[in-house]
Structures are given as structure tokens and as C-alpha cells.
Amino acid sequence: MKKLNIRDLDLKGKRVLVRVDFNVPQDKKTGAIKDDARIAGALPTIRHIIDCGGRAVLMSHLGRPDGQPNPQFTLKPVAERLSQLLGKPVAFAPDCVGDAVKAMALGLKDGEALLLENLRFHAEEEKNEPGFAGQLAELGELYVNDAFGTAHRAHASTEGVTRHFKRNAAGFLMEKEIDYLSRVLESPAKPFVAILGGAKVSDKIAVIENLIPKADAILIGGAMAYTFLLAQGKPVGASLVEQDKLDLARSLLAKSATIRFLLPVDHVAAEKKEGEPDKKGKPTFSFVNARQVTDIPAGLAGVDIGPRTIVEYARAVAGARTVVWNGPMGIFETPEYARGTFEVAKAVAASGATSIVGGGDSASAVQQSGVADRISHISTGGGASLEFLEGKALPGVAALTDS
């Protein structure tokens, strides 16, 4: 899949409207940015515009302000951090549309940058309201999308705005995402191993079905493994299981008969204790007194893959030339239950394969395990990368001009 790239545009003296993903984690009390990786990820595209004499008009969302201005979700701290990383001032607009914002955009000089206030302070953004998209489009003469993490959503800034430009280009980060993920689906180097974890089979159904004809092996971990194991008649104790997906699990197991479809052969299991409900009234749980087991007995819940499974999965990964990983092997946020996830991360890094790690928990896991620099590509979009691997057309990608 080849899309028009920012390097194909004549940027000199042009206002370039760029959709970036500055949805960064912040300290809830102080607003301080806890991780600026997404800001840093957009720097190559922003610097290219500035260095070519373009005028960068940057737009992003942050958090979930529910369509209303909310100082908790202002992008002003992001503008300040971006200024530090760029080594030059970045102007900050009080809104993302309106006469004052338009005047600021029109007043930019060559090599300058402006960051707009949070797009989601307006409900029209997520509704992809045409009038709102038109207002955004007035701020630029060219359009570039570098926010893969939002490409699976047809919002005004990712899809609606593109209708107002003759050509719509991918930024460098977007290009990298498309290239790596397209390679997996179109022509992966063999052997190709997919590692899928997380809580629910239902979240990964379409990915599994789409990868079965392409992969040589699929390794299953996380809570979703217990639904598959129960579907095979194996004891899973009090582990998280999707009872309504057992028939589906059996169907997927049957479809995967032509490839290696690996499930955990041992587990770390713990006692499941219910705690106080959370703020939304949902029950919370803690897991204590963990032990290694082959079969999970009643009263215990699986919280990680066991040592034999770690060895088996590492062997499967060792001979791969392409590895895709999306989803942790257990409750890795708890240090006692992180070994399986971290060991798989290390095995992927050591394999020498072209490795693509999905966003979210998997990206966090490779960072925490200290092997991020040995992963070929860490996706910036968990949901977007999943939908791409499902074979779905992402609105924000489909709206870009083919090259």
C-alpha cells in the first residue's frame, strides 16, 4: 500500500495542516507530561516542514473532554514540550477554529509552527461534522496526516478535512506504520509468527482469522488463552473466560489446524479476591498467593504463562523472520506476573526477525523489559494496528492520496 508522502509536496511558503497524535499521558494533578514519545515521534515530519520553509499548523486531540472545553485537557503543556524538543518557539492557539485562530495561522511565517487547542473541545470533531472540517481546512493549503493512532476513526481532522484538499499526504510516522503493517499482510518473510495476548478472544477474532492463512505459527497468551483452553475441555479454575465465545474458540482452533497454534502448557495462577468497587461501581480484583501449575485448579485464576510455556514460545519465535505481537501474556502491570510478557519481549528482540509490536500494553512491555531498541517497529496505535491486521480499511489511511 503506497500513499503520497510529505516529501512529495512543495512546502515552501505553504501553510501545512498536520494531524498529529499528541494524546500523551499526563499527571492528573499537575498536568505534567509523563511520556513525550508521541511528541518525539512527530518531530521528523514537523522538522521537515520547517526546514523546507513551510508553515506548520498542528492539530491533535488529548484525552476525553466530551466535546466541551476542559482545562484538564489543554494542549498548552504539549506546546511547551514541543518547543523544547524542536529548539524553537511553537505558538499556541486558544482554540482550533474561529477567526482568532485563522488569523494566527495566516500570520505564520516560513519555518514557524502553531499548535491548535484540543480538537475534542468540539463535539463536531468526533462526529465528523462537515462544517467543522471545513473550518479546519481553512487553516492550511496542504494536508498531512501523521497520526496513525487515530487513523481508524473517521473524524473531522482525519477524514472529513481531506475532502477540501486536492492531495492528502502521509507524514513520515504514518508512512512507517503503513509500510511495516502492509508488509505483514502482503508479503511477510517466512517463517511468520504472530503472538496475540490480552483479555478477550472477542478483541482478536478478526485478527486471528485474517492471520491464519498467512502465519506459520500463532502463539496465544493472556486471559484470552483460558477461553481456548476451556473450549478444549481443560481446567481453568476461576480464570477470566468468555463463556459465550467457546464455540467461536473451537471454530478458530479447527481453522488453525494447518499451522502451529500454541496455547500455554503451564501457568502462574493466583487466588482471586474481590475488592471495593471502582468509581463506576464495577468490581475490582486482586490476585495473591501465586504458584506455578500445569492445570489451573478451582479457586485459582491464571495471571501469567508458566516457565515451560515461556521456553516453548521462545523456541517458536527464535526461528522466525517476521514476528507480530499484540497483547501481553498476563497481568504484567503487577511485577510478580510480568515474567511471561517480558521474556516473550526478550525472545522477540533476540530473534533477529523483522518485529512489529502493537501499541498500548505491548509497546509498554517492550519498553519496560529494556528491549525496545531491538524491535523493528513499535506501533503508535494499538486500536489502529489491530484493525489494520484485521484487514480493515482505516478511514484516515484510505483518505490519503495513492502514490
Angle value at C-alpha 182, between 389 and 351, nearest 5 degrees? 80
Which residue is associated with the grid cell 474481590?
A: 274
Whether 360 has a pLDDT exceeding 70, the answer reads yes
Give pLDDT, residue 359.
67
In terms of Cα–Cα distance, which of 339, 340, 367, 16 is closest to 167? 16
Q: Is the pLDDT of residue 211 over 90?
A: yes
What average pLDDT does the chain have? 94
**pLDDT value, residue 339:** 97
Q: What is the pLDDT of residues 227-256, one digit of tens each?
A: 999 999 999 999 999 999 999 999 999 999
Q: Which of 140, 358, 360, 382 is catalytic?
A: 360
**Is 248 exposed, middle or buried, given 0-12, 13-18 or 19+ CB atoms closer than 10 A?**
middle
200 is catalytic: yes
pLDDT in tens, 381-398: 888 998 999 999 999 999
Q: Measure the CA–CA gap between 116 and 284, rounded to whole angstroms.
A: 38
User: Which of 200, 234, 255, 321 does the annotation list as catalytic?
Assistant: 200
Q: Is the pLDDT of residue 401 over 80?
A: yes
Residue 186 CB neighbours (<10 A)? 9
Q: What is the pLDDT of residue 280?
A: 78
Grid cell 486482586 is found at 286
Please report which confidence band the pLDDT of residue 281 belongs to, taking 50, 70 and 90 as the band edges: confident
Q: How far is CA 284 from CA 99, 275, 287, in A?
A: 48, 5, 10
Domains and CATH numbers, the chain: 6-176 (3.40.50.1260), 188-389 (3.40.50.1260)
The answer for 7, left when phi > 0, alpha when psi is -120 to 50, beta otherwise, is alpha
- In angstroms and rounded to an integer, the radius of gyration of the C-alpha atoms of the chain is 23
From the list 3, 15, 19, 38, the catalytic residue is 38
| pLDDT score of 103 | 98
pTM of the predicted structure, to 2 decimals:
0.89
SS (HEC) of 327-350:
CCCCCCCCHHHCHHHHHHHHHHHH
Active site residue 163: no
- Tell me the per-residue pLDDT of 132-191, one tens digit each, with 9 for 90 and over: 999 999 999 999 999 999 999 999 999 999 999 999 999 999 999 999 999 999 999 999
* 60-74 pLDDT per residue, tens: 999 999 999 999 999
The residue written with cell numbers 510516522 in the block is 173
396 classed as catalytic: no
> How far apart, in whole angstroms, are the C-alpha atoms of residue 111 and residue 274?
56
Please state, for a pLDDT cut of 90, what percent of the chain lies above it: 86
Instruction: Assign 273 a pLDDT band (cuts: 50, 70, 90).
Output: confident
Distance between terminal CA atoms of the chain?
9
Beta bridge partners of 15: 55
| Dist. CA 249–CA 224, nearest whole Å | 10
Q: Which one of the listed residues 111, 134, 352, 383 is annotated catalytic?
A: 383
Task: Give me the pLDDT at residue 28, please.
Answer: 79
- The pLDDT of residue 85 is 97
Q: How many CA atoms lie within 13 A of 173 on its CB side?
A: 28
Taking 80 as the threshold, does the pLDDT of residue 23 lie above it? yes
> pLDDT tens digits, residue range 114-137?
999 999 999 999 999 999 999 999
Instruction: Find, among 403, 342, 361, 395, the residue nearest to 161 by Cα.
Output: 395
